[in-house]
Amino acid sequence: MSLASLDAARGAPDEAAFGAFASRASLGQSALALAAGAVWLGFAFLTLRWPDIGDWGRGPELAWAAAIFGGLLAAGGLFGGLWPRAAKRLRRSTPWFLVLGLFFSLWQAATAKSTLLPQPFFPPPHAMLEVFVDDWAKLAESVAASIRLEMLGFAAGASAGFVIGVLLGWSRAFGYWAHPVMRLIGPLPAIAWLPIAFFAFPSSWSASIFLIGLTTAFPVAILTWSGVASVNMAYYDVARTLGASPVFLIFKVAIPAALPHVFVGLFMGLGASFAVLVTAEMMGVKAGLGFYLQWAQGWAAYANMYAALLIMSLMCSGLVTLLFKLRDRVLSYQKADVKW
């Protein structure tokens, strides 16, 4: 028997075993998708057929939407082989769809269908759907106001922090004067400056921009300073040997080498600035999601309050996603170990 025939004989069982394993995995994924579809169909039946305790709107709409979604999941489990790309995406999210279907079913049963959770503190899912459908104009206006305020404050603070960080890492004279000031002001929470900012600035809107910028500037400045100070001195020596000027050393050597640190500071500043944004909107700015949240709390509109919290979470997550995409584009030469 030749070597080729021996290799073929050894490879045949392996290929058969792999094929059997792949077939079992495919059947398992199909069963999981069918289970997720059944859970969402059960949630739709629960919402539509079990009478509510209390007056809640948009129940039929939620039930039909859940039924359509459950039907799509079940169809994906049965006929996923016809659309392999869509089936691959479905397989990744199917466990989450299953868990979310169970969560919504328990949430519905514990709120609208029984008195297990006290009302009106825990509204049912279709009460939040009613908020999104009926109050979408006010929510959209609040989102637009929050994004505008956040972007202006974040851009101002990131720009100032970046410039200060580069100067701290490059100039000893600037660091001599600026470092003690940063040690004094930087660790203080931006909220502590709220009364002074509202007095010093002509409007609560401009004061909020200052507070958001102050919150963003400190981590960006510290991390940029760290990045510039940690650049290998051999890079400067090689550039000077080739006749580089100080401006070239700053913009072509120091800043590019410090960019990974800069983006770490931007991520830290973004999270901190979002907390200040919500607080400022609740304290003085008469627009935005923070103001909407305070209004809903004052009127005991808990469904509106939870809807605003959900939108806040999605908005902050979206901004972080955009910052990650910007980082991946600017630092394309680096392998991105963290995915958002």
CB under 8 Å, gap of 24 or more: what pairs does 111-120 form? 112/47, 112/52, 112/53, 112/54, 112/56, 112/59, 113/46, 113/50, 113/51, 113/52, 113/53, 114/53, 115/53, 119/54, 120/300, 120/302, 120/303
Per-residue pLDDT at 155: 95
Res. 152: pLDDT tops 50? yes
Per-residue pLDDT at 204: 83
Res. 242: pLDDT tops 80? yes
Instruction: Summarize pLDDT for 4-18 with one digit per residue, the tens.
Output: 454 444 554 555 443
Stretch(es) of the chain classified as CATH 1.10.3720.10: 136-330
- In whole angstroms, what is the distance from residue 301 CA to residue 115 CA? 18
Joined tokens for residue 165: 């960080």
Written as one string, the DSSP assignment of 27-79 is: HHHHHHHHHHHHHHHHHHHHHHHSPPSS----HHHHHHHHHHHHHHHHHHHHH
* pTM of the full structure: 0.81
Count of residues making up the chain = 340
Per-residue pLDDT at 115: 78
- Nearest partner of 296 among 281, 315, 275, judged by Cα: 281
The SS3 assignment for 201 reads coil
Instruction: Summarize pLDDT for 313-331 with one digit per residue, the tens.
Output: 999 899 999 999 998 888 8
CATH number of the domain located at residue range(s) 136-330 in this protein:
1.10.3720.10
Res. 162: pLDDT tops 70? yes
Which residues, in sequence order, are CB contacts of 7 under 8 Å at separation 6+?
none
Res. 45: pLDDT tops 90? yes
Per-residue pLDDT at 14: 53
Give me the percent of the chain exceeding a pLDDT of 70. 87
Res. 111: pLDDT tops 60? yes
pLDDT-derived band of residue 147, with 50, 70 and 90 as boundaries?
A: very high
**Pairwise pLDDT comparison (234 vs 99), residue with the higher score:** 99
Mean pLDDT of 200-221: 90
Instruction: Summarize pLDDT for 63-100 with one digit per residue, the tens.
Output: 999 999 999 888 887 776 556 676 677 778 889 999 99
Look over the chain and give the mean of its residue pLDDT values, rounded to a whole number: 85
Per-residue pLDDT at 282: 82
